[in-house]
Amino acid sequence: MILRSSCQLKKMILYGGQMTLSDNALLNILSITPHLRSLTLDTGLGYSAISTDELFKALIYRPGTSTSTTLIPQLRALKIDYIRLHPQNTQPKLPDPDIVSAMVTSRRNIQIPDSSISISSASNNHCTPLESFKLHLVHPPERMNDVIEWGDTIKPRLRALESEGLTLVLKTECRYT
């Protein structure tokens, strides 16, 4: 439907506690939405297979690549809500903090070629820097130690980007479901 309509989708919000979209299907959708500026993934109260290391790896910006080969080159805001963890320590696992940090850092540090060009006018031909990253983890009490360790690893890295202007929200919540 996105391809047929030839629309230039700027904002996408995917909801659903029973979201059955795989990370590969999501990556396929994102590959045909190069004008997307805001992406929200809200998995509701159920775990979704879309918030994986593969998603974060695919979103890493590699300097020197063209906008046609960069996934969502104009992404400015990324929000992921309710990555629901199961009580078992095996599945699903938290996203690798090194990969998440690399993605956010790479997206935040995108340089616009000419400093006299505004982000809005440059966005049609260039990759734009990430302005906002929000991640909300909901976990049962049995996974609290995993989440604390994950947060202790990633928070200092991302807080440095926050001091450089990135809007950053990292929230964990302990809840019985």
Q: Report pLDDT digits (tens) over 94-145.
A: 788 999 999 999 999 988 766 545 555 444 568 899 999 999 887 777 778 8
96: containing domain = 19-107+125-171
CA dist., res. 52 & res. 158, Å (int): 19
Domain total for the chain? Answer: 1
pLDDT of amino acid 38: 97
pLDDT of amino acid 102: 96
pTM score, whole prediction: 0.83
**114 domain-assigned:** no
Q: Crossing angle of helices 97-108/144-162, nearest 10°? A: 20
Place of tokens 């400015």: 76
**112 domain-assigned:** no
**12 domain-assigned:** no
**115 domain-assigned:** no
Low-confidence residues in the chain, pLDDT < 50: 47, 116, 121-123
pLDDT of amino acid 65: 81
**10 domain-assigned:** no
**52 domain-assigned:** yes
